[in-house]
Amino acid sequence: MAINFFYYFYVKQSETKLERNKMSLFSSFEKVVKSPISRFDGWQLVGAHTRTPDARTTEQLLSNIEYYAQKNPEVAKFKNELKAMNPKHLGLVSDICELANRRDMLSNSINLKDPKQVGRNIFASWMEKLPKASKENPEALEFTKEVINHTDTSASKYFLASAVNMLDHPEIAETLRATKPMIKNIAEETLSGGKLADFSKESRFVGMIGDYVNPASDPEKIRMMHEILDVAEKIPDNMNIYLNEADFIHSKVPVAKIKENLQVFPEVTEMLSNAGKDKINMTDFLMKNVNLD
């Protein structure tokens, strides 16, 4: 499987030696958890969809982490740190553990523990980085939760395989915060229409997120995207629109000028439609000076 890693989401990391957690004298008497309370049981919907909100209690989530620690050395190594995280992030820990241990009933499936498939043991990297990120980069965890809550298990795992190093970059918090409301739209645009035999849809989904979560992106322009898409939905039915989101959010055009152009866009498309025209480049229109006088 070829995964296209984007700017913040994949860098070669040097291995670090971590001290092994000291085992309690009474560790052999710890409660054995027989099964976790899961979110991804049974057959799962494919493509973009919104999951039911996570209603598990803190106690249930701590029990889940204990269960996965008994089954996975990647979790056992950081169990105490994971359990001590902000309670609002424990659901994400449990979700990642479940996804890493789940094999989808598909012709292709992503194994987050397999270095041959995803470059390294990505699951181990998430378990190592989550406790620190919970304190220093919580926006990255909230962003990851949003992805999992709006995608199928295959796309969620593809994102996890690509995005672990996002946790090391708290400086992108504003960009993540601005992009988070767009996740549902991005998922619907890239993942709809059923599962393919390869990971091309998942790659497109992650790639489009990479267009947003990028050092060239302007968070203020990202926050305008919902308004722009709403305007685009209301143009005459015979008009075809071209909109390159990456060019727009990476542009240096002042936001005030874009807002000015957006205000007259419906009027311009109406004029073009009445003149027999059937297409318009919305990206160019918004980023250039417009004078209707």
Counted residue by residue, the chain has a size of: 293
Q: What phi and psi, each to the nearest 5 degrees, are found at residue 53?
A: -55, 145
Query: β-strands 279-281, 240-242: how paired?
Result: parallel
Q: Residue written as tokens 């220093």? A: 136
* CB-facing half-sphere around the CA of 239: CA atoms within 13 A: 24
Helix locations, 25-180, DSSP H: 58-71, 73-76, 79-83, 90-101, 115-118, 122-136, 138-149, 153-163, 173-179
3 state SS of 33: coil
Q: Which residues, other chains included, contact 26 with Cβ-Cβ below 8 Å and sequence gap of 6+? A: none
The average pLDDT across 16-24 equals 32
What would the two tokens of residue 37 be? 């309370």
In terms of phi and psi (left: phi > 0; alpha: psi -120 to 50; beta: otherwise), the region of 259 is alpha
Residue-wise pLDDT tens digits, 148-189: 999 999 999 999 999 999 999 999 999 999 999 999 999 999
pLDDT computed for residue 105 by the predictor: 64
What would the two tokens of residue 175 be? 């960009």
Per-residue confidence band for 289, with pLDDT thresholds at 50, 70 and 90: low
Query: Residues 150, 187: contact at Cβ < 8 Å?
Result: yes
The average pLDDT across 119-137 equals 97
Given a cut of 70, whether residue 144 has pLDDT beyond it is yes
Residue-wise pLDDT tens digits, 98-112: 999 987 666 678 999
pLDDT computed for residue 12 by the predictor: 32
Give the least confident one: 54-58, 97-101, 146-150, 189-193.
Answer: 189-193
Percentage with pLDDT > 70 across the chain: 85
Q: Residue ranges per domain, the chain?
A: 32-217, 223-287
pLDDT computed for residue 31 by the predictor: 63
SS3 of 127-159: HHHHHHHHHHCHHHHHHHHHHHHCCCHHHHHHH
Per-residue confidence band for 15, with pLDDT thresholds at 50, 70 and 90: very low
* CB-facing half-sphere around the CA of 25: CA atoms within 13 A: 0
CB atoms within 10 A of CB 89: 21
Q: Residue written as tokens 């504003």? A: 174
The average pLDDT across 196-201 equals 86
Percentage with pLDDT > 90 across the chain: 71
∠ CA 124-126-129, nearest 5°, is: 110
Alpha-carbon distance of 136 to 8, in angstroms, equals 16
* Position with higher pLDDT, 248 vs 25: 248
The overall average pLDDT reported for the chain is 86
pTM of the predicted model, to two decimals?
0.85
* Chain-centroid distance, C-alpha 253: 27
Alpha-carbon distance of 193 to 180, in angstroms, equals 23
| C-alpha separations of 34 from 31, 41, 165 in Å | 9, 16, 32
Per-residue confidence band for 118, with pLDDT thresholds at 50, 70 and 90: confident
Torsion of CA 270, 276, 282, 285, to 10 degrees: -80
